[in-house]
A and B are shown apart, each in its own frame.
Chain A
Amino acid sequence: MAINLKPVDVVVIGLGAAGGVAVLPLARAGLNVAGIEAGTWMDPHRDFHADEVYNNVRRLVSSSPKAQRECPTVRATPSQQARSAGVHPMMNAIGGTSIHYWAQSWRLKPWDFRTRSESIRRYGPNSIPAGSTLEDWPVTYDDLEPYYDIIEQEVGVSGKAGNIQGHIDSTGNVFEGPRQREYPMPPLRGAGFTDHMMDAARQLGWKPFRPPAAVNSQPYRGRNPCVFHGYCSAGGCHVGAKNSTATTTIPEGVRTKNLTIFDRAQVTRIITDANGRTTGVNYIRDRKEYFQPGKIVLLAGYTYENSRLLLLSKSKAYPNGLSNNHGQVGRHYFGHWISNVSALFPSDINVWYGLPAQGATVDEWADDSFDHAGLGFIGGASLHVYTERHPIDAAAMSTYGRAPLFGSAWKKFVHENAGRVASTYLQTNTFPYETTFLDLDTEVRDPLGDPVCRITSGGVRENEQRALQHAQNKMEQWFRAAGAIEVTKPPANGPGISTHAYGGTRMGANPETNVVDPWGFSHEAPNLGILGASVMGSSGARNPTLTLQALAWRTAEHLVKNWKSLAG
Chain B
Amino acid sequence: MIDRMKSSDVSRRELIQSAAFVPLAALLSSAQQTPQAALTPSQMKTLVAFIDRLIPSDELGPGAVASGVQIYIDRVLAGPNASEKDTFIQGLEAVDAYAKRAHGAPLAELSAEKRDQVLNEMIDSPFFNRARRLTLEGMFSDPYYGGNKNFAGWDLIRYPGPRPAVAAEDQAMNVDIKPYRVSAYGSKYGH
A contacts, CB < 8 Å to B = 38-40, 42, 46-47, 49-54, 57-61, 63-66, 68-69, 71, 84, 86-87, 92-93, 189, 191-193, 196, 227-231, 263-266, 284-285, 287-289, 347-354, 387, 391-392, 394-396, 405-408, 410-412, 414-415, 418-419, 444-450, 452
Q: Which of A284, A392, A450 sits near B141, CB closer than 8 Å?
A: A392
Q: A64 near B58 (CB under 8 angstroms)?
A: no
Determine whether B184 belongs to the interface, using a CB cutoff of 8 Å to chain A: yes
Q: B142 near A60 (CB under 8 angstroms)?
A: no
Q: A229 near B173 (CB under 8 angstroms)?
A: no
In angstroms, Cα B5 to Cα A64, docked, is 16
Count B interface residues, CB 8 Å. 69
Can you add 8 more A-B contacts, CB < 8 Å, to A50-B162, A92-B21? A42-B23, A51-B162, A65-B24, A266-B20, A288-B16, A408-B60, A448-B12, A449-B12
B1 to chain A, nearest CB (A): 6
Q: A192 near B173 (CB under 8 angstroms)?
A: yes
Q: Which of A87, A227, A350, A353 sits near B1, CB closer than 8 Å?
A: A87
Q: B23 near A84 (CB under 8 angstroms)?
A: no
In angstroms, Cα B168 to Cα A354, docked, is 10
A356 to chain B, nearest CB (A): 14
B128 to chain A, nearest CB (A): 8
Determine whether B15 belongs to the interface, using a CB cutoff of 8 Å to chain A: yes
Q: Which residues of B contact A229 (CB under 8 A)?
A: 162-166
Q: Which of B7, B15, B20, B142 sits near A53, CB closer than 8 Å?
A: B142
In angstroms, Cα B79 to Cα A58, docked, is 12
Q: Which of B10, B60, B137 sits near A447, CB closer than 8 Å?
A: B10
Give me 16 A-to-B residue pairs in the complex whose CB atoms sit less than 8 angstroms apart, sorted by A's number.
A39-B21, A60-B29, A193-B171, A228-B171, A230-B166, A287-B16, A350-B171, A352-B159, A354-B166, A395-B153, A406-B119, A411-B156, A419-B157, A419-B158, A448-B12, A449-B12
Q: Which residues of B contact A49 (CB under 8 A)?
A: 184-185
Q: A352 near B160 (CB under 8 angstroms)?
A: yes
In angstroms, Cα B21 to Cα A340, docked, is 33
**Top-3 shortest CB links A-B:** A449-B7, A418-B157, A192-B173
Determine whether B28 belongs to the interface, using a CB cutoff of 8 Å to chain A: yes
A305 to chain B, nearest CB (A): 14
Binds A, one of B34-42, B48-56, B86-94, B100-108: B48-56
Q: B140 near A392 (CB under 8 angstroms)?
A: yes
Q: Which residues of B contact A64 (CB under 8 A)?
A: 21, 23-24
B148-177 interface bits toward A, Cβ cutoff 8 Å, 1 = contact, 0 = none: 000001101111101111101011111101
Determine whether B66 belongs to the interface, using a CB cutoff of 8 Å to chain A: no
In angstroms, Cα B140 to Cα A49, docked, is 16
A221 to chain B, nearest CB (A): 21
In angstroms, Cα B3 to Cα A452, docked, is 13
Q: A406-B119, A447-B15 are in contact. Are A51 and B142 (CB under 8 A)?
A: yes
Q: Which residues of A contact B1 (CB under 8 A)?
A: 68, 87
Q: Which of A93, A196, A411, A444 sits near B23, CB closer than 8 Å?
A: A93
